[in-house]
Chain A
């Protein structure tokens, strides 16, 4: 891959004020994201994963440092100047309950991105067509478009969230703990779906998770965060097989494994 990076992140810092204390949520983070790359971001709770990806989606402003999307900086831009980013990047969130407006139909939820001002040209019929298309893609029955989120199971809701993200045909999909709230039994389905979609449309994926085994499954590169700092960044297999950082090693060792050899 010789293409230019789709994201260039330089010396990114984010401070939160908490009372009179300051919390460094993201601490001098640097990395590039190539088109088509599938990057996993792992780390414990509070390590700054969400903060980082929210800044990448221009939902939160960095304290210092720079983020360039397709060569132009997105830091300090007004909403109107972010059209390119808004068209190209979509997010899927952790909790399928809170990421879907309970008072909108599934159809309205999925087509909402297309009704934003960054997609002016799209007509109603275009939207309806696209709705059927994405719902089918994620394995939902287009007939269910007039139902409300609470009428769906957790796994299905997450599919709705994914359909919404796919509707505007983004180049980058950011999934912030997209499977963490799901039951093991459903998780596999959603993971498979994401894997398939990413492969099919050549999406660039940023996949946030605290679960290393999950990341290994969908990503080709991993970035390990700890207290806002990058402690390890490399191809998935390399990180898994030969972790360089002691923290990564500890993280890997802690993953519970199925023990089939029990002697009663």
Chain B
């Protein structure tokens, strides 16, 4: 631990975000969506981070925003990993038609970057929504997981212990579960961490384009978007959510780097 300051820093930052989200479940200083005439207050004792253009308490919104931030990351990463990892593993194990078709599918998917996909999906639903954003970001992270999983699987498959297992008559599916999955886990975890950061950034961008989280749910990306008209006079509105986005993304990136060092120093850079 002491030897891995990256990991510690990353974990601490992620910890902050998780703590905010947990706290918001039981307590916020003010109702996060309550408008009031106390508009555009600077940070102070009543409102720790001040209030926004609707008189809503920024600190409360930042607290609740941590929830959307984590939710987006968790869902996107889950979609990406659940679909991408098996895809990559199967593509590596089956070098026949199936494997090639899967890899081709993943490559084509790769040509639809998150933002494009989100725009199309959001357009398809006709309205921005957190779910759409999460799905789009998740789907577009599938190829990254697939590639990483495939590469790692190929590497595991080239190890002699797989040959030894085959020589003992162990089935391929058993090999995949017993040897491949545990051994590619570190790479997948690292990728998940990086994808998490990317998902948060993507959600922020989508919110900025008006395709992300809907208006009444506090989300950090949305808060920056809404702070724009006040950019000249009340920078306070944009700084807090901006700061926490940076903390969250930086946290997950550092966590990924730290985990990589911890789990396997020889791991190659993950896909971004």
Contacts and interface: CB of A to CB of B under 8 A. Distances in A.
Q: Do A and B interact directly, with beta carbons closer than 8 Å?
A: yes
Interface of A: 54, 57, 59, 79, 82-83, 86-87, 89-91, 93-95, 98-104, 109, 112-113, 115-118, 161, 164-165, 168
A101 B169 contact: no
A253 B122 CA distance: 75
Given A93-B160, A99-B161, A113 B166 contact: no
A79 B170 CA distance: 9
B169 A91 contact: no
The 7 closest A-B pairs by CB, nearest first: A86-B169, A113-B168, A99-B160, A93-B160, A118-B169, A116-B169, A103-B182
B171 interface: yes
A99 B159 contact: yes
A40 to B, nearest CB: 20
Contacts of B170: 112-113, 115-117
Interface residues of B, number: 17
Contacts of A89: 167
30 contacts: A57-B167, A59-B163, A59-B167, A79-B169, A79-B171, A82-B169, A83-B169, A86-B169, A87-B169, A89-B167, A90-B168, A91-B167, A93-B160, A93-B163, A95-B160, A99-B159, A101-B159, A101-B182, A103-B182, A103-B183, A104-B178, A112-B170, A112-B178, A113-B168, A113-B169, A116-B174, A117-B169, A117-B170, A161-B164, A168-B168
Nearest to B162: A101
Contact of B164 (A87, A91, A115): A91
A98 B182 CA distance: 15
A47 B179 CA distance: 30
Interface string B148-172: 0000000000011101111111110
B164 to A, nearest CB: 6
Contacts of B160: 93-95, 98-99
A103 B171 CA distance: 19
Given A103-B182, A103-B183, A98 B159 contact: yes
B72 to A, nearest CB: 31
A100 B114 CA distance: 39
Nearest to A54: B163
A168 B190 CA distance: 38
Nearest to A108: B178
A101 B166 contact: no
B84 to A, nearest CB: 21
